[in-house]
Amino acid sequence: MERSTRQRTAIRTVIDAAARPLTPQEILAGVRETVSEIGIATIYRNLKLLLDDGTIQTVSLPGENARYEMSHAAHHHHHHFHCVPCDRVFDVEGCPGSMENLAPAGFVIDRHELTLYGVCADCSAERAKAAPVPKRRARAPKTH
Protein backbone atom coordinates (compact mmCIF):
# COMPACT_ATOMS: atom_id res chain seq x y z
CA MET A 1 0.00 0.00 0.00
CA GLU A 2 1.23 3.46 -0.89
CA ARG A 3 1.88 5.94 1.87
CA SER A 4 -0.43 8.92 2.08
CA THR A 5 1.09 12.19 0.97
CA ARG A 6 -0.01 15.79 1.34
CA GLN A 7 -0.67 15.92 -2.41
CA ARG A 8 -2.75 12.72 -2.42
CA THR A 9 -4.73 13.87 0.60
CA ALA A 10 -5.43 17.20 -1.13
CA ILE A 11 -6.54 15.41 -4.31
CA ARG A 12 -8.93 13.17 -2.36
CA THR A 13 -10.29 16.20 -0.51
CA VAL A 14 -10.93 18.15 -3.72
CA ILE A 15 -12.68 15.23 -5.44
CA ASP A 16 -14.80 14.45 -2.37
CA ALA A 17 -15.77 18.08 -1.76
CA ALA A 18 -16.81 18.61 -5.39
CA ALA A 19 -19.50 15.93 -5.16
CA ARG A 20 -19.36 15.64 -8.96
CA PRO A 21 -16.94 14.10 -11.45
CA LEU A 22 -13.87 16.28 -12.08
CA THR A 23 -11.34 16.50 -14.88
CA PRO A 24 -7.65 16.36 -13.97
CA GLN A 25 -7.45 20.10 -14.74
CA GLU A 26 -10.32 20.85 -12.34
CA ILE A 27 -8.58 18.72 -9.70
CA LEU A 28 -5.32 20.60 -10.29
CA ALA A 29 -7.04 23.98 -9.86
CA GLY A 30 -8.69 22.84 -6.63
CA VAL A 31 -5.54 21.30 -5.18
CA ARG A 32 -3.46 24.40 -5.98
CA GLU A 33 -5.55 26.32 -3.43
CA THR A 34 -3.73 24.36 -0.69
CA VAL A 35 -0.68 22.87 -2.44
CA SER A 36 0.42 25.64 -4.78
CA GLU A 37 3.54 23.90 -6.11
CA ILE A 38 1.75 20.81 -7.48
CA GLY A 39 1.85 20.06 -11.21
CA ILE A 40 -0.37 18.10 -13.60
CA ALA A 41 2.08 15.15 -13.73
CA THR A 42 1.69 14.72 -9.96
CA ILE A 43 -2.09 14.87 -10.34
CA TYR A 44 -2.06 12.09 -12.97
CA ARG A 45 0.39 9.94 -10.97
CA ASN A 46 -1.78 10.20 -7.85
CA LEU A 47 -5.02 9.63 -9.77
CA LYS A 48 -3.55 6.33 -10.98
CA LEU A 49 -2.66 5.32 -7.42
CA LEU A 50 -6.12 6.30 -6.15
CA LEU A 51 -7.72 4.32 -8.98
CA ASP A 52 -5.54 1.31 -8.22
CA ASP A 53 -6.46 1.31 -4.53
CA GLY A 54 -10.17 1.80 -5.27
CA THR A 55 -10.52 5.22 -3.65
CA ILE A 56 -11.76 6.86 -6.85
CA GLN A 57 -13.48 5.70 -10.01
CA THR A 58 -13.34 6.86 -13.62
CA VAL A 59 -16.39 8.46 -15.21
CA SER A 60 -16.26 8.07 -18.98
CA LEU A 61 -18.53 10.05 -21.26
CA PRO A 62 -18.61 9.47 -25.02
CA GLY A 63 -16.02 11.60 -26.79
CA GLU A 64 -14.70 13.09 -23.54
CA ASN A 65 -11.56 12.65 -21.46
CA ALA A 66 -11.89 10.74 -18.20
CA ARG A 67 -13.26 12.42 -15.11
CA TYR A 68 -12.96 11.14 -11.57
CA GLU A 69 -15.31 10.75 -8.63
CA MET A 70 -15.03 9.11 -5.23
CA SER A 71 -15.80 5.40 -5.28
CA HIS A 72 -18.35 5.74 -2.48
CA ALA A 73 -20.36 8.02 -4.81
CA ALA A 74 -20.05 5.53 -7.63
CA HIS A 75 -21.26 2.58 -5.55
CA HIS A 76 -24.87 3.65 -5.87
CA HIS A 77 -26.47 3.63 -9.29
CA HIS A 78 -26.61 7.11 -10.79
CA HIS A 79 -26.27 8.91 -14.09
CA HIS A 80 -24.68 12.16 -15.24
CA PHE A 81 -25.62 15.57 -16.65
CA HIS A 82 -23.04 17.24 -18.91
CA CYS A 83 -23.37 21.02 -19.18
CA VAL A 84 -22.30 21.87 -22.71
CA PRO A 85 -21.41 25.57 -22.17
CA CYS A 86 -19.17 25.10 -19.09
CA ASP A 87 -18.19 21.44 -19.74
CA ARG A 88 -18.87 20.44 -16.12
CA VAL A 89 -20.45 17.09 -15.29
CA PHE A 90 -22.91 16.59 -12.44
CA ASP A 91 -24.35 13.49 -10.80
CA VAL A 92 -28.02 12.78 -11.49
CA GLU A 93 -29.73 10.75 -8.81
CA GLY A 94 -32.30 8.22 -9.77
CA CYS A 95 -32.86 6.25 -12.90
CA PRO A 96 -35.64 6.02 -15.47
CA GLY A 97 -35.86 2.31 -14.67
CA SER A 98 -35.69 -0.79 -16.76
CA MET A 99 -34.19 -0.46 -20.20
CA GLU A 100 -35.14 -3.99 -21.28
CA ASN A 101 -37.79 -2.74 -23.70
CA LEU A 102 -35.14 -0.70 -25.58
CA ALA A 103 -32.96 -3.70 -26.42
CA PRO A 104 -33.63 -5.76 -29.54
CA ALA A 105 -35.64 -8.96 -29.03
CA GLY A 106 -33.56 -11.69 -27.44
CA PHE A 107 -30.90 -9.30 -26.11
CA VAL A 108 -30.18 -9.05 -22.39
CA ILE A 109 -28.97 -5.81 -20.81
CA ASP A 110 -26.27 -6.21 -18.16
CA ARG A 111 -25.94 -2.52 -17.29
CA HIS A 112 -26.62 0.91 -18.70
CA GLU A 113 -25.24 4.43 -18.59
CA LEU A 114 -27.28 7.53 -19.24
CA THR A 115 -25.85 10.98 -19.86
CA LEU A 116 -28.05 14.04 -20.15
CA TYR A 117 -26.71 17.04 -22.08
CA GLY A 118 -27.83 20.61 -21.68
CA VAL A 119 -27.25 23.76 -19.62
CA CYS A 120 -26.64 23.74 -15.85
CA ALA A 121 -28.31 26.14 -13.42
CA ASP A 122 -25.22 28.41 -13.22
CA CYS A 123 -24.97 28.74 -17.00
CA SER A 124 -28.74 29.27 -17.30
CA ALA A 125 -28.53 32.12 -14.78
CA GLU A 126 -25.58 33.65 -16.66
CA ARG A 127 -27.50 33.45 -19.92
CA ALA A 128 -30.52 35.12 -18.33
CA LYS A 129 -28.34 37.98 -17.03
CA ALA A 130 -26.68 38.41 -20.43
CA ALA A 131 -29.92 38.37 -22.41
CA PRO A 132 -30.79 41.80 -23.78
CA VAL A 133 -33.83 43.45 -22.29
CA PRO A 134 -36.44 44.00 -25.00
CA LYS A 135 -36.98 47.66 -25.80
CA ARG A 136 -40.43 49.07 -25.39
CA ARG A 137 -41.93 50.59 -28.44
CA ALA A 138 -42.98 54.18 -28.07
CA ARG A 139 -46.71 54.53 -28.09
CA ALA A 140 -48.32 56.72 -30.69
CA PRO A 141 -50.12 59.67 -29.15
CA LYS A 142 -53.80 59.15 -28.75
CA THR A 143 -56.01 60.99 -31.18
CA HIS A 144 -59.65 61.65 -30.48
Q: Which amino acid is at 84?
A: V
22 pLDDT higher than 90: yes
Residue bearing the bigger pLDDT, 25 or 115: 25
- Rounded to an integer, the average pLDDT of 5-25 is 94
User: In 61-76, which positions are buried (b, 16+ CB within 10 angstroms) versus exposed (e)?
Assistant: eeeeeebbbbeebbee
- Please state the pTM of the whole predicted model: 0.71
130 pLDDT higher than 80: yes
pLDDT (tens digit per residue) in 57-112:
999 888 889 999 998 765 677 888 999 999 999 988 877 777 778 889 899 888 87
Closest CA to 47 of 20, 67, 75: 67
Handedness of CA 19, 20, 23, 25 (dihedral sign): negative
